[in-house]
């Protein structure tokens, strides 16, 4: 009897010990995340100013800014979104609603899972061979944007599929029963009901695209750009110009990488300041994605 | 043409367009395989496979170039190994804690926050490894050089915790409740149930999670490019600077290697090595995950 009580006490002790260890392990990641943000904030916050946002990079650290970098990031993201979103949603809809169970669909599915696991720098090499040299887009905003679009395409497809899968079959059957065709069902029911999930996936994909550095270095983005791309709006007819698509560019993470790799302390402080802005953008986008997911989950009850 | 015919044509056209969009993803893979093989084929015309896989020096940019990929593979394996020794135990602990111990409400809050760890831009992690962790580690290990494999390895490990923990947790939650209840009914504690019943039952899922983690670590670029140094170094010593396959590609890309030269082709040779390393792990992981779905 005494032994049994001892055994129980011993087992319970281990149980409590593990609860503490598990909690600590879970918190460790969060603590590090906080340390990272505090470290960035301490180093970089003094450099943050309106001038930092509106100056070009410079040889003098205290005059350098990120104007060309954030404009480049923004334009790149625009191209990425325009290319990846329609393609990804269309592919997701096909696989969930139209795809028949055959070998071709199987191959497409396995392929998408595999693409999601391909290192980002390999996409950079693909883009270097395909966009820069084969299609002759050069080291342009178009090339960079399309590279990131390829990279986040699997994420958009998977998010779309997951969102569509959550819609119960009775919705489809009700629509067919009223005489709707497949596309009408998709257009009026499937797409509207899965908007929340799809939007969440898109935002998370774009937030990943904004921080991606390696593939864009590989396609040959420059690290020192002291001018802006051609303005998309002009005074002369036809008022809209797409010349900016072919302009050379730099982006936020590359600017930060360039500053980190310099030995001078002053440049590293600039890197921290650029890092703060990158982090804030990523966190805002992820926060928005979580909020949207939460809102839609609350709103729709099947 | 009557209404019904028009409708049929429209439906068919839409289906074809959607199908082509889905098929496009296959062309991305084909494109990757084609471009990588095409450019490395040119490389292997000038460098023998034997030299590539058995040479111990990688100095393609020197006047007398040597093309042994081993130092880059070793650098990749070293940083990956360090990252995994951080990420696998911690990821598993987090997964067990969240799936078996944490209250539901806490899990709902912690999961998305943990996932932020994977969302932080990798260049920020590189900054953190080089300018925050390395100086701290140097206080404890005086021999540690300014660029080393240890610090980026640890940071990479932290970065991939969410990949490991979320897939393992999904596998553990998928273990049916009656199996847990059976264990509790025999008088087992939560701790005993977690380690003797749940982990073995969810084994293939956990293995898949580990493999996703490995594949992430092998392909990670910016952290090692910033904090591990740029010297190909055939060493297993984590205190020394090393260069990985990915960091080499970045280094050459920054230096603007002219199209068609051997230096230009080396990045594709390094790339195809990287691609096949991760492809092997991805297929293994896919197969393992497919297996968990079939068990219950």
Q: Is the pLDDT of residue B124 over 70?
A: yes
Cα dist from A199 to A97, A287, A296, B33, whole Å: 19, 13, 10, 31
B184-199 confidence digits (pLDDT tens): 999 888 889 998 999 9
Note whether residue B63 is domain-resident: no
Flag the least confident range among A268-277, B73-82, B233-242.
B233-242
| Same domain for B38 and B113 | no
Note whether residue B286 is domain-resident: yes
Q: Is the pLDDT of residue A235 over 70?
A: no
| Same domain for B112 and B10 | no
Q: Is the pLDDT of residue B19 over 60?
A: yes
CA nearest A15 in B: which residue?
A: B191
Note whether residue B60 is domain-resident: no
pLDDT for residue B47:
83
| Same domain for B91 and B230 | yes
Instruction: Find the CATH number of the domain harbouring B237.
Output: 1.10.3720.10
Q: Does B229 touch chain A (CB under 8 A)?
A: no
pLDDT for residue A236:
64
Separation CA B227–CA A292 (nearest Å): 36
Site from B3, B28, B293 to mutate, A interface, most A CB atoms within 10 angstroms: B28
Q: Mean pLDDT throughout A282-288? A: 90
| Same domain for B185 and B248 | yes
Q: Which of A98, A119, A268 sits opposite B18 (nearest CB)?
A: A98
Note whether residue B53 is domain-resident: no
pLDDT for residue B293:
57
Please give the residue range of the domain that contains residue B9: 3-46
pLDDT for residue A234:
64
Q: Is the pLDDT of residue B204 over 80?
A: yes
| Banded model confidence at residue B1, pLDDT cuts 50, 70, 90 | low
How many structural domains are present in chain B? 2
Q: Mean pLDDT throughout B195-215? A: 88
| Banded model confidence at residue B2, pLDDT cuts 50, 70, 90 | confident
Q: Is the pLDDT of residue A239 over 70?
A: no
pLDDT for residue A302:
62
Higher per-residue pLDDT: A139 or A253: A253
Q: Is the pLDDT of residue A297 over 90?
A: no
B213-225 confidence digits (pLDDT tens): 998 999 999 999 9
A55-64, B55-64, B127-136, B252-261 — most confident range:
B127-136
Q: Is the pLDDT of residue A136 over 90?
A: no
pLDDT for residue A237:
65
Note whether residue B218 is domain-resident: yes
Sort out which chain A residues have CB atoms less than 8 A from B76's CB and list them. Answer: none
| Same domain for B83 and B28 | no
Q: Tell me whether residues B221 and A119 touch, CB distance under 8 A.
A: yes
How big is the CA angle at B25 (ends B21 and B27), to the nearest 5 degrees?
105
| Same domain for B174 and B272 | yes
How far B190 CA sits from the closest chain A CA (Å)? 7
pLDDT for residue B295:
55
Q: Calculate what percentage of chain A has a pLDDT beyond 70.
A: 93
Q: Does B6 touch chain A (CB under 8 A)?
A: no
Note whether residue B57 is domain-resident: no
**Residues counted in chain A:** 302
How far A235 CA sits from the closest chain B CA (Å)? 36
Q: Is the pLDDT of residue A51 over 90?
A: no
Note whether residue B55 is domain-resident: no
A184-218 confidence digits (pLDDT tens): 999 999 999 898 889 999 999 999 999 998 999 98
A48-62, B49-63, B236-250 — most confident range:
B236-250
CA nearest B163 in A: which residue?
A: A117
Q: Tell me whether residues B39 and A22 touch, CB distance under 8 A.
A: no
| Same domain for B252 and B200 | yes
pLDDT for residue A164:
92
| Same domain for B155 and B34 | no
Site from A39, A117, A159 to mutate, B interface, most B CB atoms within 10 angstroms: A117
Q: Which of B26, B130, B189 sits opposite A111 (nearest CB)?
A: B26
Chain-wide mean pLDDT for chain A?
87
pLDDT for residue B63:
74
Q: Calculate what percentage of chain B has a pLDDT beyond 70.
A: 98
Higher per-residue pLDDT: B286 or A252: A252
| Banded model confidence at residue A158, pLDDT cuts 50, 70, 90 | very high
| Same domain for B75 and B135 | yes
> In the structure encoding, which two tokens stand for residue A183, read together?
């596309």
ipTM field: 0.89
Tell me which residues of chain B, numbers 98 to 127, contact chain A at a CB-CB cutoff of 8 Å.
Answer: 98, 101-102, 110, 112-117, 119-127
Chain-wide mean pLDDT for chain B?
87
Q: Tell me whether residues A29 and B161 touch, CB distance under 8 A.
A: yes
A113-131 confidence digits (pLDDT tens): 888 889 999 999 999 989 8
Q: Is the pLDDT of residue A163 over 70?
A: yes
Q: Calculate what percentage of chain A has a pLDDT beyond 90.
A: 34
pLDDT for residue B296:
53
Q: Is the pLDDT of residue B106 over 70?
A: yes
| Same domain for B81 and B31 | no
Q: Mean pLDDT throughout A5-9? A: 88
| Same domain for B248 and B112 | yes
The DSSP line for chain A is -HHHHHHHHHHHHHHHHHHHHHHHHHHHHHHHHHHHHHHHHHHHGGG-SHHHHH----SSTTT---HHHHHHHHHHHHHHHHHHHHHHHHHHHIIIII--SSHHHHHHHHHHHHHHHS-HHHHHHHHIIIIIIIS---SSHHHHHHHHHHHHHHHHHHHHHHHHHTS-HHHHHHHHHTT--HHHHIIIIIHHHHHHHHHHHHHHHHHHHHH--HHHHHTT--S---SPPPPSB-SSTT-B--GGGGS----HHHHHHHHHTSS-HHHHHHHHHHHHHHHHHHHHHHHHHHHHHHHHHHH---
Q: At a CB cut-off of 8 Å and minimum separation 6, what does B123 contact?
A: A211, A213, A253, A256, A257, A260, A275, A278, B222, B226
* Residue closest to A194 by CA, chosen among A215, A218, A166: A166
Q: Mean pLDDT throughout A6-32? A: 89
Note whether residue B177 is domain-resident: yes
CA nearest A87 in B: which residue?
A: B21
pLDDT for residue B68:
86
Separation CA A124–CA B264 (nearest Å): 13
Report whether B266 contacts B44 (CB < 8 A). Answer: no
Using the Cα atoms of residue B42, residue B48, residue B53 and residue B55 in order, give the sign of their dihedral. Answer: negative
| Same domain for B205 and B100 | yes
pLDDT for residue A84:
94
Q: Is the pLDDT of residue B159 over 60?
A: yes
């Amino acid at each position: 009897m005494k032994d049994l009580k001892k055994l129980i006490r011993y087992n319970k002790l281990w149980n409590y010990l593990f609860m503490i260890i598990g909690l600590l392990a879970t918190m460790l990641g969060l603590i590090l995340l906080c340390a990272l943000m505090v470290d960035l904030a301490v180093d970089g916050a003094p450099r943050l100013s309106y001038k930092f946002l509106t100056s070009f990079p410079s040889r003098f650290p205290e005059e350098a800014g990120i104007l060309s970098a954030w404009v480049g990031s923004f334009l790149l993201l625009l191209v990425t979104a325009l290319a990846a979103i329609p393609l990804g949603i269309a592919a997701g809809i096909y696989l969930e609603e139209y795809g028949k169970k055959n070998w071709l669909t199987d191959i497409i599915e396995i392929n998408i899972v595999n693409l999601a696991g391909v290192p980002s720098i390999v996409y950079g090499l693909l883009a270097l061979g395909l966009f820069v040299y084969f299609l002759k887009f050069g080291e342009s905003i178009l090339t960079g944007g399309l590279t990131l679009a390829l990279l986040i395409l699997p994420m958009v497809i998977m998010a779309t599929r997951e969102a569509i899968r959550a819609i119960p079959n009775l919705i489809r059957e009700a629509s067919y029963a009223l005489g709707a065709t497949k596309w009408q069902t998709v257009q009026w029911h499937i797409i509207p009901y899965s908007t929340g999930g799809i939007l969440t996936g898109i935002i998370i994909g774009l937030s990943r695209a904004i921080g991606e550095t390696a593939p864009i270095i590989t396609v040959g983005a420059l690290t020192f750009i002291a001018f802006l791309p051609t303005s998309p709006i002009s005074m002369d007819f036809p008022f809209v110009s797409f010349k900016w698509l072919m302009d050379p560019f730099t982006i936020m993470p590359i600017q930060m990488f360039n500053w980190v790799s310099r030995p001078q302390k002053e440049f590293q402080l600039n890197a921290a300041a650029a890092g703060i802005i990158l982090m804030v953008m990523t966190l805002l986008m992820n926060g928005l994605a979580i909020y949207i997911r939460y809102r839609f989950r609350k709103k729709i009850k099947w | 043409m009557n209404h019904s015919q028009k409708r049929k044509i429209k439906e068919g056209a839409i289906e074809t367009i959607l199908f082509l969009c889905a098929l496009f993803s296959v062309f991305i893979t084909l494109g990757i395989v084609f471009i990588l093989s095409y450019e490395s084929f040119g490389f292997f015309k000038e460098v023998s496979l034997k030299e590539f896989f058995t040479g111990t020096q990688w100095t393609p940019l020197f006047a007398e170039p040597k093309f042994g990929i081993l130092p880059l593979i070793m650098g990749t394996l070293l940083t990956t190994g360090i990252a995994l020794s951080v990420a696998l135990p911690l990821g598993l602990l987090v997964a067990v804690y969240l799936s078996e111990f944490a209250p539901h409400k806490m899990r709902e809050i912690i999961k998305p926050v943990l996932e932020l760890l994977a969302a932080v831009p990798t260049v920020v992690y590189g900054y953190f490894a080089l300018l925050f962790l390395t100086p701290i580690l140097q206080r404890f290990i005086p021999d540690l050089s300014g660029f080393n494999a240890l610090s980026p390895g640890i940071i990479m490990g932290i970065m991939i915790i969410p990949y490991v923990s979320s897939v393992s947790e999904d596998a553990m939650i998928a273990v049916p409740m009656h199996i847990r209840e059976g264990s509790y009914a025999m008088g087992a504690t939560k701790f005993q149930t977690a380690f003797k019943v749940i982990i073995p039952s969810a084994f293939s899922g956990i293995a898949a999670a580990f493999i996703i983690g490995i594949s992430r670590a092998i392909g990670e670029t910016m952290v090692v490019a910033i904090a591990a140094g740029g010297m190909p170094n055939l060493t297993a010593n984590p205190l020394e600077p090393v260069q990985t396959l990915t960091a080499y590609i970045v280094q050459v890309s920054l230096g603007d290697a002219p199209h068609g030269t051997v230096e230009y082709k080396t990045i594709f040779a390094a790339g195809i090595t990287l691609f096949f390393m991760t492809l092997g792990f991805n297929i293994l992981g896919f197969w393992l995950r497919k297996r968990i779905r079939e068990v219950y």
